[in-house]
Amino acid sequence: MKGTFVVWVEGKVKEVTNGRMNYQDVKYTQLSNKTEVCSRCCTPRKLFTCFFILIVTLIGLLVTCYSHTSICNKHDYQKVHIRLTKRRLPHCIIIGARKAGTRALLTYLKVHPDIQTAQYEVHFFDNQENYDFGYGWYRKQMPYSFPDQLTIEKSPAYFTESSVPGRVYSMNSTIKILLIVRDPVQRTISDQLQLNFKGLDMGLEVKPFEELVLNPKTGNIDMNFKPVQRSYYDVYMKNWLKYFPLNQIHIVDGDQLIADPYPEVYKVESFLGLRHAIPQSDFVYNATKGFYCIKTDTAYQKCLSGSKGRSHPHIQKEVIEKLKDVFWKHNENFFELVNQRFFWNNKTMASKIGK
Ligand code: A3P
């Protein structure tokens, strides 16, 4: 072939002079300066056609994106600011309880096309330094969302910090609140286990649960031991109910969420006023993990990290019984406050599941 040609090689416009399409013959050029060399292979008409096809393809892709297809799901825009999306203060917060399944709940809800979730625990209302940064800072911690999507943030410390309900109320008195609770005995063990792992990371000595939870002088449960205290659900609930009516707080059963997450997530969708867009088939039981995982756009099964669903140490039966006794009255108070019973004080049910 004689003459000069402009060709498309490896995604770049290149020029070939006098001859075969030999790679050594190719040198980089800018298309705009070389329109005269396009006379044989790249006529203006051909270029226009290419440009036209490119534009049509781009428009097609954008239209596809807006109509929720799997090619370009709305969730992909968490970090990308595109038209119509912006960061919004949360419409809903998961306030706790710590170690009751807050991460699992958020992970499941994230699959919903009408929900965007904050990437990490923001600790806005419970951390004075963060709170002092103001609502503008808080909003900037939120993901980009479309106008018809709900933004959800979870920070489990919100439930137990006494100043939090008033602060949340001041920001948005109609915000929707999700609280997940779990058998307080199991939650307490899980809480201490988490602290043990943190301690190990820092090179600290780790003591057996029994030693930490019992008062060495009396042999009774140390009622001021933090992991025990954090399971007095009634105490914290009373504080939240000073600011918010019960119908603004939906309570998720954390033990049910472990055993069969779909019905619990279905109820949350209803509470949030959303369509039921997370089908039962999206929850996949993973026998190796021993927990449910969820199908997402990018993963056949998204399981929670290794720090969730740890196997608990064996705890002496007498200590379990003592904990149950301590929690019994708190549990009854809680059931009354929320007008809902959980199995924790139900001897038959508890013995059935070996707790
Ligand atoms: P354990 O690790 O003690 O089993 P949080 O996210 O609030 O810290 O709660 C952690 C708890 O979530 C875990 O406590 C686990 O029991 C529970 N959980 C519920 N669903 C889970 C899931 N699908 N995968 C892992 N853990 C889950």
Q: What is the pLDDT of residues 177-212, one digit of tens each?
A: 999 999 999 999 999 999 999 999 999 999 999 999
Whether 177 is in the pocket of ligand 1, judged by its Cβ within 6 Å, is: no
pLDDT at 248 over 80: yes
| Ligand 1 atom 11: residue of nearest CA | 101
Residue 26 confidence (pLDDT) above 70: no
Under a CB-based contact definition with an 8 Å cutoff, are residues 4 and 16 in contact?
A: yes
Indicate the pLDDT class of residue 52, thresholds 50, 70 and 90: low
Distance 289 CA to ligand 1 centre (A): 11
- Nearest atom of ligand 1 to the alpha carbon of 254: 19
CA distances from residue 26 to 16, 164, 271, 287, 297 in whole angstroms, order as listed: 5, 66, 63, 57, 42
96-121: average pLDDT: 98
Retrieve residue 176's tokens: 């929707």
Binding site membership of 294 for ligand 1 (Cβ less than 6 Å): no
Whether domain 90-354 has CATH 3.40.50.300: yes
So where are the chain's domains? 4-72, 90-354
Q: Of all protein residues, whose CA lies closest to atom 26 belonging to ligand 1?
A: 309
Find the range with the poorest average confidence among 25-39, 66-80, 154-168, 254-268. 25-39
Give the residue, 298 or 349, on which the prediction is more confident: 298
Closest CA to 287 of 266, 263, 303: 303
- From atom 14 of ligand 1, which residue's Cα is the shortest distance away? 309
Is the CA virtual torsion 351, 345, 181, 324 positive or negative? negative
pLDDT above 50 (res 32): no
Does the annotation place 312 within a ligand binding site? yes
- State residue 67's pLDDT score: 42
Residue 323 has pLDDT above 70, yes or no: yes
* Strand bridging mode 92-96 / 150-154: parallel
Assess whether the C-beta atom of 309 lies below 6 angstroms from ligand 1: yes
Residues 54-80: tens digit of each pLDDT? 776 666 555 444 444 333 455 544 555
User: Which residue, 89, 143, 90, 92, is CA-closest to 252?
Assistant: 92
Residue 2 is among the residues annotated as catalytic for this protein = no
What is the chain's Cα-based Rg? 29
* Reported confidence tier of residue 256, pLDDT bands at 50, 70, 90: very high
Q: What is the pTM of this model?
A: 0.79
pLDDT band at 138 (very low <50, low <70, confident <90, very high): very high
pLDDT confidence of residue 83: 79
Copy the structure tokens of residue 199. Answer: 């301690």
Poorest-pLDDT segment among 13-27, 31-45, 136-150, 222-236: 13-27
Distances (CA, A) of 267 to 109, 251, 271: 11, 10, 6
User: Within a 10 A sphere around the Cβ of 132, how many other Cβ atoms?
Assistant: 8
The Cα–Cα gap between 352 and 355 comes to 8
Catalytic annotation, pick one of 12, 74, 86, 99:
99
The whole-number pLDDT of residue 21 equals 41
* pLDDT of 16: 42
With 60 as the cut, is the pLDDT of residue 29 above it? no
123 is in an annotated binding site: no
> Which atom of ligand 1 approaches the CA of 307 most closely?
2
| Contact (CB, 8 A) for 97 and 180 | yes
Give the model's pLDDT for residue 84. 87
Distance (Å) from CA 231 to ligand 1 centroid: 16
pLDDT of residue 165: 98
Contacts of residue 167, defined as CB under 8 A and 6 or more positions apart, other chains included, come to 125, 131
Q: How much is the pLDDT for 58? A: 67
How far is ligand 1, taken at its centre, from the CA of residue 355, in Å?
A: 17
From 74-83, 84-93, 103-112, 114-123, the region with the lowest mean pLDDT: 74-83
Q: Does residue 104 have its Cβ closer than 6 Å to ligand 1? A: yes
Q: What is the pLDDT of residue 115?
A: 98
pLDDT value at 18 more than 80: no
Q: Kindly state if the Cβ of 196 falls inside 6 Å of ligand 1.
A: no
Q: How far, in Å, from the CA of 198 to the mean position of ligand 1? A: 16
How many angstroms does the Cα of residue 16 sit away from the middle of ligand 1?
62
Amino acid 81: pLDDT: 65
Q: Is the pLDDT of residue 1 over 80?
A: no
CA-based end-to-end distance of the chain: 84
Q: Which residue has the higher pLDDT, 44 or 257?
A: 257
pLDDT of res. 352: 42
* 85 in contact with ligand 1, CB cutoff 6 A: no
Q: What is the mean pLDDT of the chain?
A: 84
Categorize the per-residue pLDDT at 300 as very low, low, confident or very high, splitting at 50, 70 and 90.
confident
| Each residue's pLDDT tens digit, 140-170 | 999 999 999 999 999 999 999 999 999 999 9
Distance 212 CA to ligand 1 centre (A): 22
| Ligand 1 proximity of 252 Cβ (cutoff 6 Å) | no
Which pLDDT band holds residue 245 (cuts at 50, 70, 90)? very high
Which 3 state secondary structure label does DSSP give 96? Answer: strand
Q: 45 among the known binding-site residues?
A: no
Residue nearest to atom 18 of ligand 1 (CA): 101
Nearest protein Cα to ligand 1, atom 15: 309
- Please, how many CA atoms are within 13 Å of residue 325, restricted to the half-sphere of its CB? 10
